[in-house]
Chain A
Amino acid sequence: MSNAKPARGFIEKTLGDITGALEQTLFAEEIARQGGLLQSLDPRAKLVGALALLIAISVSQNLRVIVALYALTLPVAYASRVPMGFYLKRVWVFMPFFTGVVALPALFNVFTPGAPLVTLIDLASPRVYLAITQPGVVTAAFLLLRVGASVSIAVLLILTTRWTMLLKALRVLRVPQVFVLILGMTYRYIYVLLHAANNIFLARRSRVVGRVSSAENRRWLAASMGVLFAKAYALSDDVYLAMQSRGFRGEAQVMETLAWRGVDWLWLAVFLAVAAGAVWLGH
């Protein structure tokens, strides 16, 4: 029994992770195709704007500025037809599992000494004292709000921009064409390999009856990783030959089909002005 449980656990966990990644991108593509506010903007304006806002959040030494920046994303998300339940949940429900756990101890006097807000334990002998301190709350809030606001900006960018467009926008940051090409191919082949992995795990899941020892499972998992590795390597050969036969000689050419309009200037100016204002206020 003790062996069967983790064995089923890791297959299902992995299947869940793979399905989650596939679902997430399908969801993002679906929202990116809708005609909302952010979707209508040039990806370069969004990318530069998002970076400026991320830096503003990162530089701010004032909690209210971070909260204000986050609050400003809400109407923009709404106008971009991002499901608000998802948008809020993605940050404030999932984040606490990681960052919340990290921020929690900082609340207490053990890690952040200072004026107590709530005293939890106060024993004279043996001396045990545990309290939530005022500086502790500020410190934890800095971490949580900063991470939450940053993730929100990144999520908005990802959800409202189709990945092919986002790739093209990278050129504006002087990312070399060959890197843009590699990123694009990687993104494309992640699906091929995710589907392959999904099939491997599903096949295993549907054929195994009874208990399998943990060691056997590890060997199987290593074999499937090895298969993927060999597959990726062989596939890269095929792709290379295919590229060569179509005239690829090592020079990457990414088609520039983006069209910059007046409204993009306007919004880029808005993003930059908000970011600059936040940097000024937060310093």
Chain B
Amino acid sequence: MHIPDGYLSPATAAVMYAASLPFWYRATQKMKALVTGRLVPLIALVAAMSFVIMMFNVPLPGGTTGHAVGSALAAIVLGPWAASLAVSVALVIQALFFGDGGILAIGANVFNMAIAMPFVAFYLYRWLSGSAPIVSARRVMAAALAGYVAINVAALLTAVELGIQPMLFRDAAGHALYFPYGLETAIPAMMLGHLTIAGGVEAVATGLVIAWLQRTNPELLETFSQPGAATARLPRRAGLGLTALIVLTPIGLLAPGTAWGEWSREELAKLGLGYIPAGFDKWSNLWRAPLSDYDLPALNNPTVAYVLSALFGVALVLSAIFALGWLIERITRRGATRTA
């Protein structure tokens, strides 16, 4: 799943770096707050272990073998933030010292395998295992399933990143400049291998190692698996879902036509309505949006503009919500101090 340099356009690579940076920053802040200095050797050793585990060939029933990524395992034992940092470090070392995976593509590889994967695995594991005891079989199954789903989410993200390339980047003669297949090919090709072999390898490795740790080192599993520790999980999980939705935005380009109820004047006429409602004509020119029709004039490529508009829109909506939340909190706090 390591994307080499040459598959992604520089613009995509830059966007993926930009997407990964806040996670790195937040992870470092979080880990620093945990124990001063303890972070350095812990991340280094887990990263080294993750590097070595990525070399293991895991035998599957039927005789095939495959490599596990190990992000899910690290996330279950160390929590998603530490796992994210450790796997990132392992990926950077692979690219920078071993030539595995591109250097410009580090951002994308980190986002898929070191951010999406451990977070999905961690929250899925926690949700599936509920309040089951640390050494229960349910936790083994939860870990296996979390590993399976997490690597498939990572594979889907990889496929989307690759699949949007031919839509966005072609030379003047129309040749695809980077990865040449669209989403309709990239997603099935990627998922076929991951829903079967790679997913199986990750499930087997994650589940069996958790089972082994239950027998030999159960205390390693306790830190991040206490059922009571799950507080204020929802916003973060919602954030994850939101990120996934933004990443999947380009799929909207595949859909033909206009969203139901969002017709323009001309489309209304074509729908066979027979007439244009009087109010429509009156109001439809009232407001010309700054990103009209999601097409920025500065960027001639409509797809780039579409995705950028999506990101901009999300940022706008989020800041509006946060501003509102902040305002409400201020007002309620002021009310609370006054009554007290």
Contact = CB atoms under 8 A, between A and B. Distances in A.
Given A135-B174, A146-B178, A163-B97, A21 B55 contact: yes
A277 interface: no
Contact of A186 (B7, B51, B176): B51
B52 A194 contact: yes
Contacts of B57: 9-10, 13-14, 17
Chain A: interface secondary structure?
helix
Interface stretch (A71-79, A80-88, A245-253, A256-264): A245-253
B135 interface: no
A105 B182 CA distance: 13
B41 A239 contact: yes
Contacts, number: 250
A61 B65 CA distance: 38
Contact of B180 (A9, A18, A139, A230): A139
Nearest to B13: A58
B99 A154 contact: yes
Q: Which size class do B's interface residues fall under?
A: 35 or more
Contact of A228 (B28, B53, B180): B53
A228 B99 contact: no
Interface in B164-203: 171-181, 185
B216 interface: yes
Contact of A221 (B9, B28, B59, B63): B59
A118 to B, nearest CB: 18
A214 interface: yes
B52 A151 contact: no
Contact of A243 (B40, B63, B99, B171): B40
B59 A7 contact: yes
Interface string A4-28: 0111011001100110010011000
Nearest to A193: B52
A24 to B, nearest CB: 7
Contacts of B172: 61
Contacts of B212: 219, 222-223, 225-226
Please provide the 8 A-B residue pairs with the shortest distance between their CB atoms, ordered closest to farther. Answer: A222-B208, A150-B5, A146-B6, A185-B44, A147-B6, A250-B37, A226-B212, A236-B45
Given A150-B5, A185-B40, 5 more contacts: A9-B57, A147-B4, A226-B216, A229-B209, A232-B46
Interface of B: 4-7, 9-10, 13, 28, 32, 36-49, 51-53, 55-61, 63-65, 70, 73, 77, 89-90, 92-93, 95-99, 102-104, 171-181, 185, 204-205, 208-209, 211-213, 216-217, 220
